[in-house]
Structure 1
Amino acid sequence: MDEAQKVREQAAQAMDVLRAELAELARIQRKRTTLIATGEAAERRVMVSLNADGVIIETRFADDIGDLGHEEIAAAVTEAGQRAHAELSRMNEAMMRPLTEQRARLPKMSEVIADLSDFEGMRDIDGLGELDNLLTTPPPVSTAPPGSPERRVGDAEGTSPDSGVKDELW
């Protein structure tokens, strides 16, 4: 086997790994659109829910919210939003962790394909020209409130988009 053929085979193997990684990334992106994080404050009188992008999708007050003054309510809304954001960050990180760990274990492209910079025929490797098509734009994240019909539609994997809702807070 000549050197050019060896490089082509190595590149094809690397492309297979890349395709699998991009498919996993697309799956994670779809799942991410369903995330909802809810924070509470002021002894559960204030609850703020955020979607995966950190956009407020619902703010709720308990029946006894009137026991608080305006400044206390404002501070509680801020606190609940910050708590929801911290939870959302944790959820996003946990969702990405397996992919991040997998990437850390993979060798660098230059380690897989020797003399990569010297090889002029890289454009002819099956699938390399289609790399742009493999990269996906994340799907849009819903701004519908928790429990709305839009969120009850389940995604392609059969999970409910409401999976991030903390129902016990309501």
Structure 2
Amino acid sequence: MANEFAEDATADILDGFAAQIRAIAAAAEQRAELTATAFAQGKRVKVTVNADGVVLETRFSSDIGELTYDEIARAVTTAAQEAAKDAAAKAENLLAPIVEQRARMPKLSELIDDLPDFESQRPTFPAASMAPLSARNPTAEPKPLGAEPVEDYETWRAAARGGGVTDESW
């Protein structure tokens, strides 16, 4: 009788695992098509990103010329960050049923005697910084070997001469 119970429990676990794999595959397909869009500067700037937060499209309204280059740059950054945040929330909502189902399934450490709980040993990653590069501690980010120093935008802007993209030298 005990052996029959163990076989039934094992079959239930394997069925649950197979269902979980099918749900993960379906969610992965939906995530691959997921996008999010955000606007900034009174809808003058529109940015669309994919589920990974990668910019797919940036659009400017016809009155974008009323903004300075700095305002446009900040608006693009703001819209991209908002769209990425929205995409992450959508992806989290998409995966929520899978996470809930997984939480109901037994852990390997509950099924196998003396097996450590690996889940509790999983490292956590801090959230990526949203601070502009100019506001970060320059010693906090390692530089690749042989990397040339790169002039940041603020330094370049302060020293820039000419009319930018409308300059006749283009």
Which digits, 9 at most, give the CA deviation of each residue in 1:107-157, with x for residues without a partner?
33454x4xx349xxxxxxxxxxxxxxxxxxxxxxxxxxxxxxxxxxxxxxx
Alignment of 1:100-119 (within 5 A): 100-111=99-110, 113=111, 116-117=112-113
Q: Identify the residue that residue 63 of structure 2 maps to in structure 1.
A: 64
Q: Identify the residue that residue 29 of structure 2 maps to in structure 1.
A: 30
TM-score (norm 1): 0.61
TM-score (norm 2): 0.61
C-alpha distance in 1, partners of 2:100/2:113? 27
- In the TM superposition, what is the alpha-carbon distance from 1:105 to its structure 2 partner? 2.3
C-alpha distance in 2, partners of 1:34/1:47? 19
Q: Note the residue ranges of structure 1 that are not aligned, 5 or more in a row.
A: 119-170
Which digits, 9 at most, give the CA deviation of each residue in 1:39-67, with x for residues without a partner?
11000000110011211110000000000
Alignment of 1:82-97 (within 5 A): 82-97=81-96
- In the TM superposition, what is the alpha-carbon distance from 1:36 to its structure 2 partner? 0.6
Alignment of 1:1-170 (within 5 A): 1=1, 3=3, 6-111=5-110, 113=111, 116-117=112-113
C-alpha distance in 2, partners of 1:105/1:13? 13
Max Rg structure: 2
> When the two structures are aligned, how many residues end up with a matched partner?
114
Question: Bigger relative contact order, structure 1 or 2, given CA contacts below 8 A and separation 6+?
Answer: 1
* Secondary structure of residue in 2 paired with 1:33: helix
C-alpha distance in 1, partners of 2:5/2:86? 48
Q: Which runs of 4+ in 1 moved over 2 A?
A: 5-13, 105-111
Q: Note the residue ranges of structure 2 that are not aligned, 5 or more in a row.
A: 115-170
Q: What is the identity, as a one-letter code, of the residue corresponding to 1:94? A: N
Alpha carbon RMSD of aligned pairs, Å? 2.0
Q: What is the identity, as a one-letter code, of the residue corresponding to 1:55? A: V
* Secondary structure of residue in 2 paired with 1:43: coil
